Chains A and B, each alone.
Chain A
Amino acid sequence: MEYLKIALYILVFPGFLFQSVFSTFLEWLDRKIYARMQNRRGPLYTGWNGLMQPVADIVKLMAKEDIVPAQADRFIFSLMPLVSLAAACTAGLYLPVWHLTRYNSFEGDLIVVAYLLAIPSFCLFLAGWFSVSPFSLIGATRVLTQVFAYEVPFFLALLTPAVLSGSWRIAEIAAFPWTSGAWWAIPLQLLAFAVALLSLQAKLERVPFDIPEAETEVVGGPLTEYSGKKLALFRLQKDILMLVGSALIAALFLGGFGGGLFLGALQLVLKTILVVALLSLVKAACARIRLDQIVTFSWRYLAPLSLIQFFIVLLVKGTGVI
C-alpha cells in the first residue's frame, strides 16, 4: 500500500501526469494572456479555444524526424533532454501538496528544489555545447552567463521566507501564515516576491531575458540542432519548469496550499495561474535586453533588492513579533 501510494505520488499527483497536463494548460494560458494583451486571439482551433494546442505541438514534434548532427556528442546530446525533464519533474514532487511523507518533505528540501531547478539551465548549456554548431555554442555560453546573473538573486529571494518562518522545509514555510496567523508576512515579502518572479522569468528564458534563444541572432540558441522527440522533451521540460517554479513561488510567497486535499489542489491551481499571469504580463510589457544588460540588471538591482528584503525580514524577526 505504501509503495502504491508512492507510485501514485510520483506518477499521478503531483507527479508526471498532473505536471504534464497542468503545465500544458499553463502554457496555453500564458499564450492566451500574452496574445490578448497584444490584441491578438492566441491559439484557437485545437480543442476549446485552442486548449489542446500545446499538446498538439508536442505530439507533432514527437512524430517528426529526429536528427543528431554528425559532429555532435551523441550520448550527451540524447541524454540532456531526459535529464532536464527529470530534474524539473523531480523538483515538482517536493511541492507541499496533499500528504507529506519523509520522502518528499524534509528539513532542507528548499535547497534541494532550488538546485533541481538550476539543473535544466545547465542541461541546456551542455546540450548547446555538445551540439557543436556556432549558434548552439553562442546560445550555450549565453545560457551560462545568464545563469550566474539570475541564480544568486533567485536563491536570496527564496532565503527570505525561509528565514521569516525559521525553517528550510517548503511545507513549513508554506504553512507558516496558516499556523502562526501572520498573514501580513505576505505583503511584507513583496520585494522578494518580485525578485523571485523576475529571476524565474530569466530562468525560463522568456522575454525580456530570452537572449540565449534570441531567434533573430542565434536561431534557436542551444536548441538550434534539436528536432523531433528531443525537442519535444525540451518543450515539455520548459512547461514543467514554469509550473514548478510558479508553484514554488506561490508556496513560498503566496501562503501555500493549505486546507486539505481539494482546497489545497484548488489553491495550487489558482495561485500558480496567478503567478503565470504575472509572468505573462512581464513578457508582454518588456522587450529583449542584451546579455550585459541582464547581468547588470541582476547584480545592480535584483541582488541588492533581495538583500534589502532579507534585512527587512531580519529586522522584523529581531523585534520579536513572530
Chain B
Amino acid sequence: MTKFGSMVPELLRNLNTKPVTILYPFEKVPTPEGFRGTPRLKPGECIGCRSCVRDCPAEAIEIEVEKVEAPAAAEGQEAPKPQKRIKVILYLDRCVHCARCVEVCPKNALYMDLEYEVANFTRDALRLVQE
C-alpha cells in the first residue's frame, strides 16, 4: 500500500498544469506523418487498369470507363484516337482506409489525404466521384 496522502503533492501540482483534454471540435489533434485519411485521385493520371478495384478489401472502389468519340479528323491529318473518360467512384462508407489502392496503383494516381471527419447524414454524401 502506498503511503496515505502520497498523491496530494501531485494533485496540487496538477492544478497548475495545462489540462490534457483537447476541446475536439474546436481544437484538432495534429495528424501524424503517414496518416491515412481519404483516398484521392490525381486528376488525369488514372489509366483505368482496375488494380485498385480488384485489390480493395472493402470493395469500395468502382471504375467506369466511357469511350468519348473523337472529333472528326481534319483534312489531310490523321484521325485522333478515341479518348477514354475514367470515373473513379469511391464509397467512403465502405472504405477501411487501408491504403491498399495507393500501394497497388501502377501510375501512382492515388494518394491519401489527411481528411478524417467524413461522417455525414446520407449515404449518397459518402459517394465520392473523381475523374
- Let me know if A41 and B11 touch, CB within 8 A: no
A39 interface residue per 8 A CB criterion? yes
A163 interface residue per 8 A CB criterion? no
Q: Which residues of chain B are within 8 angstroms of A35 by Cβ–Cβ distance?
A: 19
B29 interface residue per 8 A CB criterion? no
Scan residues 1-24 of chain B and give those whose CB is less than 8 A from a CB of chain A. 5, 7-8, 11-12, 14-15, 17, 19-21, 23
A266 interface residue per 8 A CB criterion? no
Q: Which residues of chain B are within 8 angstroms of A36 by Cβ–Cβ distance?
A: 14-15, 19
A79 interface residue per 8 A CB criterion? no
- Let me know if B14 and A38 touch, CB within 8 A: yes
Interface residues on B, range: 10 to 19
Interface residues on A, range: 10 to 19
- Let me know if B11 and A281 touch, CB within 8 A: yes
CB of A278 to closest CB in B, whole Å: 11
CB of B24 to closest CB in A, whole Å: 12
A40 interface residue per 8 A CB criterion? yes
Q: Which residues of chain A are within 8 angstroms of B5 by Cβ–Cβ distance?
A: 285
- Let me know if A37 and B19 touch, CB within 8 A: no
A263 interface residue per 8 A CB criterion? no
- Let me know if A285 and B11 touch, CB within 8 A: yes
A112 interface residue per 8 A CB criterion? no
Docked complex Cα distance between A40 and B12 (Å): 13
Docked complex Cα distance between A35 and B21 (Å): 10
Q: Which residues of chain A are within 8 angstroms of B11 by Cβ–Cβ distance?
A: 37, 281, 284-285
Scan residues 1-53 of chain A and give those whose CB is less than 8 A from a CB of chain B. 33, 35-41, 44
Docked complex Cα distance between A40 and B18 (Å): 9
Known: A285-B5, A285-B7. A41 touches B19 (CB 8 A): yes
Encoded as 1 (CB less than 8 Å from any B CB) or 0, chain A from 265 to 289 comes to 0000000000000000100110000
Known: A281-B8, A285-B5, A285-B8. A33 touches B15 (CB 8 A): yes
Q: Which residues of chain A are within 8 angstroms of B19 by Cβ–Cβ distance?
A: 35-36, 39-41
CB of A45 to closest CB in B, whole Å: 9
- Let me know if A40 and B21 touch, CB within 8 A: yes
- Let me know if B14 and A39 touch, CB within 8 A: yes
CB of A38 to closest CB in B, whole Å: 7
Docked complex Cα distance between A44 and B11 (Å): 20
Q: Which of B11, B12, B20, B23 has the largest count of A CB atoms less than 10 A from its CB?
A: B11
Docked complex Cα distance between A68 and B15 (Å): 42
CB of B115 to closest CB in A, whole Å: 26
Q: Which residues of chain B are within 8 angstroms of A281 by Cβ–Cβ distance?
A: 8, 11-12
- Let me know if B21 and A37 touch, CB within 8 A: no
- Let me know if B23 and A37 touch, CB within 8 A: no
CB of A174 to closest CB in B, whole Å: 29
CB of B121 to closest CB in A, whole Å: 23
Q: Which residues of chain B are within 8 angstroms of A41 by Cβ–Cβ distance?
A: 19, 21, 23
Docked complex Cα distance between A219 and B23 (Å): 30
Q: Which of A33, A39, A44, A285 contacts B17 (CB 8 A)?
A: A39
Q: Which residues of chain A are within 8 angstroms of B21 by Cβ–Cβ distance?
A: 39-41
- Let me know if B20 and A39 touch, CB within 8 A: yes
Chain B: CB-nearest residue to A45: B23
Q: Which residues of chain B are within 8 angstroms of A284 by Cβ–Cβ distance?
A: 7, 11
CB of A201 to closest CB in B, whole Å: 14
Encoded as 1 (CB less than 8 Å from any A CB) or 0, chain B from 20 to 42 comes to 11010000000000000000000
CB of A121 to closest CB in B, whole Å: 26
Q: Can you list 13 contacts pairing A with B, beta carbon distance less than 8 Å?
A: A35-B19, A36-B19, A37-B12, A39-B14, A39-B19, A39-B20, A39-B21, A41-B19, A41-B23, A281-B12, A285-B5, A285-B8, A285-B11
Q: Top 8 nearest A-B pairs by Cβ distance?
A: A37-B11, A41-B19, A41-B21, A39-B20, A285-B7, A37-B14, A284-B11, A36-B15
Contacts A39-B19, A40-B21, A285-B5 aside, 7 further interface pairs with beta carbons under 8 A come to A36-B19, A38-B14, A39-B17, A40-B20, A41-B19, A41-B21, A284-B11
